[in-house]
Structure 1
């Protein structure tokens, strides 16, 4: 199973999307994905779906959502009806009950060792933080840039959120801002005004409620630009005198000299 949560929620089993159209079932899947490979108690699912108090048949409604998710999983696995019902498969393949597991007191989404953009982000960001501690700013900028490129929009876009998902998303947002602060500091140490302007411009365009300090920095970086948008992100087929920019963009080759403000970092190596 492949999970992507750093933007629009997408869940694929055997290459087939299994995100349901029903809002409540999608919300339940999102919370299971947030705790992939770990049990999520039924009480937590109930609080997430009905924060103001569960209806009388809450347990049955959760079971209905689980059945719907398993139908989508079985369809993705290409199982016949008798196999989906729990009969042993000739090839020993997993069924939906192996993927979305019922346990005493809750459920677990078993990814079977699949991919997760969140885990990739955590590994890349961690490598970037370690490089910052060693003052290896080149490696830090590269690894933190890789981590930030995984974010395409706000986490869990397209999902209705209750208290547990909101708390989880808030932690992810803090992790993203910490990674961005450290990436900015690494680029500042390297004197890369082009990448700073491009990366921060992309960041501001992708996310709601961005910290004001980034808007100030972009303004400072662009204050004395010429008529050409030096350093701004351009289409892949844009000006020939361009180079690869951060987060999968391209940037123009010129940029005016400006003084780069320092950030108050949220964790990691402090600015000197």
Structure 2
């Protein structure tokens, strides 16, 4: 099973989408994906779907959503069986109950070793942070840029978020902003003015809201270009009154307490 949550929720089994159209079922699938390969207690699912108080038949409603998910997975597995027809050496597809697993007290989404954009993000960010620690700025810029490219929009776009998904999304967002801070610093140290400014604009354009410090930096870049600073060397930008990049990056370093990403699972 392949999971993507750094933007629109996308879940595939053997290449076939299984994201339900009903909002509550999609929300339940998103929470299971957020805790992939770990049990999610029924109480947590209930709090997520009904934060203001569960209805009388909440357990039955959750079981109905789970059955719907399994029906979608069955459709995906049928496609997999057709594609694998005649290839006896290939492992057979899993059953839907092996994907969405019922356990005492909750449910588990078993990925079966599939891909996850969150795990890819974590690996790339970790490599970038380690490169920054040893002042390998080219590698840091590359790996942190790869991590940021995995984001197409805000996490869990298109999913109604209750308290647990909001908390998980907030942790992802904080990790993304810390990666962006270090990517900016790596590009600055390499003197890559164009890559810094163009890349920052692209990254920020994908999200509903932009933290004020980043929006201010982009605005100052545009202002400096309009005033004729575009031809100056990178170092002269740090002294330009129109682009106060030095103080901006200093504030980033002051606000960052560690070079290691926050844990975003759980």
TM-score normalised over the length of structure 1: 0.82
Alignment check: 8 A CA contact 1:129 1:268 kept:
no
Distance apart, 1:227 and its partner CA: 9.7
**C-alpha offsets along residues 131-177 of structure 1, whole Å, 9 cap, x if unaligned?**
11101111100000000000000000000000000000000000000
Matches within 5 A, 1:148-227: 148-225=148-225
Alignment check: 8 A CA contact 2:2 2:116 kept:
yes
Which residue is 1:124 aligned to?
124
Query: In the aligned structure 2, how far is the partner of 1:110 from the partner of 1:156?
Result: 19
Distance apart, 1:255 and its partner CA: 5.2
**C-alpha offsets along residues 93-113 of structure 1, whole Å, 9 cap, x if unaligned?**
310000000000000000000
1:107 is paired with a residue of what secondary structure?
strand
Query: In the aligned structure 2, how far is the partner of 1:173 from the partner of 1:121?
Result: 12
- Which consecutive segments of 4 or more residues in structure 1 shift more than 6 A? none
| Residue 21 of structure 2 is aligned to residue 11 of structure 1 | no
CA RMSD, Structure 1 to Structure 2 (Å): 2.1
Matches within 5 A, 1:32-51: 32-51=32-51
Query: In the aligned structure 2, how far is the partner of 1:119 from the partner of 1:6?
Result: 11
Find 2:252's aligned residue among 234, 254, 264.
264
Alignment check: 8 A CA contact 1:133 1:268 kept:
no
Query: In the aligned structure 2, how far is the partner of 1:267 from the partner of 1:129?
Result: 13
C-alpha distance 92-203 of structure 1, shift in aligned 2 (>3 A): closer
Query: In the aligned structure 2, how far is the partner of 1:133 from the partner of 1:96?
Result: 44
1:206 is paired with a residue of what secondary structure?
coil
1:56 is paired with a residue of what secondary structure?
coil
**C-alpha offsets along residues 30-53 of structure 1, whole Å, 9 cap, x if unaligned?**
000000000000000000000011
Q: What is the count of residue pairs matched by the alignment?
A: 236
Q: Report the structure, 1 or 2, having the larger helix content.
A: 2
1:210 is paired with a residue of what secondary structure?
coil
Query: In the aligned structure 2, how far is the partner of 1:186 from the partner of 1:79?
Result: 45
Query: In the aligned structure 2, how far is the partner of 1:226 from the partner of 1:53?
Result: 55
Alignment check: 8 A CA contact 2:18 2:76 kept:
yes
Between the two structures, name the one with larger relative contact order (CA 8 Å, sep ≥ 6): 2
Alignment check: 8 A CA contact 2:16 2:79 kept:
no
Structure 1: runs of 5 or more not aligned: 81-90, 231-253
TM-score normalised over the length of structure 2: 0.84
Alignment check: 8 A CA contact 1:193 1:221 kept:
no
Distance apart, 1:256 and its partner CA: 4.4
